[in-house]
Amino acid sequence: MKSNVAVATTIQERKRKMSQQIQEKYEESHLYKIRHSAAHVMAQAVLEMFPEAKYTIGPPVENGFYYDFDLPRNLTPEDLEKIEKRMRQIVQGKHEFKKTVLSAEEAKKIFADQPYKIELIEGLEQGGFDEYGNPLKEKPEISIYQHDSFTDLCRGPHVESTKEIKPDAFKLMNVAGAYWRGDENNKMLQRIYGTAWENAQQLKDYLHQLEEAKKRDHRKLGKELEIFIFDDEVGPGLPLWLPNGGIIIEELEKLAKEMEEKAGYQRVRTPVVSKEDLFLHSGHLPYYAESMYPPMELEGVKYYVKPMNCPMHHKIFGSKLRSYRDLPIRLAEYGTCYRYEKSGELFGLMRVRSMQMNDAHMYVTEEQFEQEFLAVIDLYLKYFDLFGIEKYVMRFSKHSKAGLGKKYVDNERLWNKTEEMVRRAMINGDVPFVEVEDEAAFYGPKIDVQIWSVIGREFSLATNQVDFAQPARFDLKYTNKDGQEEMPLCIHRAPLSTHERMVGFLLEHYAGNFPVWLSPEQVRVIPITDGQNEYAEKITAQLRENGIRCHADLSAQRMNAKIRSAQLMKVPYMLVVGDNEMKAGQVSLRARDGSQQNNIPLGDFIARARDRIARRAAEL
């Protein structure tokens, strides 16, 4: 504990580097002011269109801004065009932004017919809450900003005048529903999203970047590369893995098994359904029922499809007497789980209803916890290194006091204790992380690894969770040195996420250009004329003999067309064989990146491919 203070400082510095600094820098930037000001201009245009509109909040966000309105009717795409047009007129008026600090009373007078603003003012007045409803430490000053005919409750900052918002450097993107204060029990407002930049070129670049991102969207690539499909009759969120997807999954499992075997895991297998009793016992039903498929009833007994593997693994741990000498016990399973995610939450492979988790549960003594927890983090980092994943944030998800007994098991002492254990482990391991309230699992705190899909949506990829609740509920125990019974802690972990989310993420991460070891088809042999078909088949057989996934393209197409189709399927190696190659027992290699190496002995190519596959190398 004594050295933690020094380490914590380092961590804090790194943390700030990772996110806070970026955040603070953005908030002070000119771009931030432009976006914030553009939001005000948009609100003015909307209020001119709907004088009876109630306006709420309109902050800058990454790449732009939004503003939420309570309007008499739904906005149409045509409305957006009109609003955008009016905004261009307004900004060209070169109106100054003027700040005025005033009392709550004065502010309430100004916004007398704006109930949302009144609510915001009251929040500020009580020193309690900011515009998102989050608690504030200090009582903030109340200020308004005015430009042209528009006045908004706002703490700023803004640009000097609307002339800094270039009429050709912003664009309204879309309308979406959003709950007031983000609470689904509140009224749904209409949110207009816009993007704004310093100049027209930046806007153009951003829009181009969006187009590019669409090309590597895993839903598009998954279809093009024949990885997976969804079928209406099978159901939403239930992917069907095509042969190519099946291969990727097999490779990921092979990787996981290798790594886990080295790390001392044991593999188990458990059923997909179980009696209701198990989930009552585990505590899932009181806390998690909403996300579970409803039960099926047979001969008077209710059965549930499992949303998680943990209760089954706990049963295995509890199936015999355990000694402290046996711990840690690490039970691993690529378990198939089903969760009834709400229809609007589904998102390609990234958010599905059937999933195969890279799951494991380790049962540890309190003394073993830190080392074991860090060993898991270390495993993550090994995987990320292998995949070249660099953009992620480790998020330490904690409970909230208000959620105790509702979202979280009601034992504040253990929450605080285990959260401190996680924090200490991360600090001692010198792993950078950010802390977030009210994001924990119902049974304990966790470290989530946050990543972003190519269109910018945030997901938890891997997860490393502490569970102090279920071991108690299942009465799990081991015998310690003194012959007394003690309860182990449980660590849930899924460094390779689920197959679904992992493959979805990797598709986007690699833009479909999987490294050789993950590529469904590693080699395509392309005979130039049908005179080399037999040779092509011979080569194919030989490659397969060497454990290389390979097909020969014997279609009646031109070589150029064959190359094109292999290229479109992002096959890493194309072996072009004509008469010359056939006579010499050679191949001409064209790699996916367009590079060429002509007339190389087949054995040389096999050695190269085998090397890349064995090392799971990134390079071709």
Instruction: Give the residue, chosen from 51, 300, 344, 483, that forms a contact with RNA under the rule CB under 7 A.
Output: 344
Nearer to RNA, 90 or 526 (CB): 526
Using the rule CB under 7 A, which residue among 53, 272, 559, 600 binds RNA?
A: 559
Give the separation between CA 190 and CA 73, rounded to whole angstroms: 10
Instruction: Name which position in 22, 136, 176, 296 contacts RNA (CB under 7 A).
Output: 176
Sole binder of RNA in the list 435, 439, 486, 537 (CB under 7 A): 439
> Which stretch, 34-42, 160-168, 195-203, 525-533, contacts RNA (CB under 7 A)?
525-533
Residues 191-220 that bind RNA (CB under 7 A): 191, 193, 219
Kindly write down the DSSP assignment for every residue of 466-506, as one continuous string.
EESHHHHHTT--EE-TTS-EEPPEEEEE-TT-BHHHHHHHH
Please pick, from the candidates 17, 382, 406, 457, the single residue that binds RNA as defined by CB under 7 A: 457
* Residue carrying structure tokens 């009251």: 122
How far is residue 535's CA from residue 581's CA, in Å, rounded to a whole number? Answer: 9
| Residues 572-601 within binding reach of RNA (CB under 7 A) | 574, 576, 578-581, 588, 590, 594, 596, 598
Cβ atoms of residues 521 and 244 within 8 Å: yes
DSSP tag of 135: B
Residue 145: CA count within 13 A, CB half-sphere: 22
Applying CB under 7 A, the span of 92-100, 106-114, 250-258, 337-345 interacting with RNA comes to 337-345
**Residues numbered 470-509 forming contacts with RNA, rule: CB under 7 A:** 494, 497-498, 500-501
Binding mask 275-314 for RNA (x = CB under 7 A): ----------------x-----------------------
Task: Kindly state the smallest distance separating residue 319's Cβ from RNA, in Å.
Answer: 26
Q: Which of 179, 206, 303, 452 binds RNA (CB under 7 A)?
A: 179
Closer by beta carbon to RNA, 260 or else 508:
508
Which listed range, 157-165, 413-421, 455-463, 604-612, lies at the site for RNA (CB under 7 A)? 455-463
C-alpha neighbours within 13 Å on the C-beta side of residue 193: 10
Closest by CA to 36, choosing from 144, 157, 203, is 157
**Which residues is 601 bridged to in the sheet?**
586
Closest to RNA by CB, 62 vs 138, is 62
Q: Is 125 in the site for RNA (CB under 7 A)?
A: no
Residue closer to RNA (CB basis): 375 or 454:
454
Residues 6+ apart with CB under 8 A from 530: 554, 556
Nearest to 332 by CA among 496, 475, 442: 496
275: tokens are 């009696």
Size of the site for RNA (CB under 7 A): 83
- Of residues 220 through 239, those in contact with RNA by CB under 7 A are 223, 230, 232, 235-237
**Separation CA 566–CA 340 (nearest Å):** 38
- Residues from 65 through 104 that contact RNA (CB under 7 A): 74, 76-77
We find the least distance from the C-beta atom of residue 180 to RNA, in angstroms, to be 9
For residues 68 and 191, what is the distance between their CA atoms, to the nearest angstrom? 4
Burial class (CB in 10 A: 0-12, 13-18, 19+), 365: middle
**Footprint of RNA on 346-405 (CB under 7 A):** 346-348, 350-353, 355, 357
In the bound state with RNA, the residue whose beta carbon lies nearer, of 176 and 618, is: 176
- Within 8 A by CB and 6+ apart from 293, the residues are 304, 305, 338, 339, 340
Asked if residue 563 binds RNA (CB under 7 A), the reply is yes
Q: Which is nearer to RNA, 63 or 143 (CB)?
A: 63
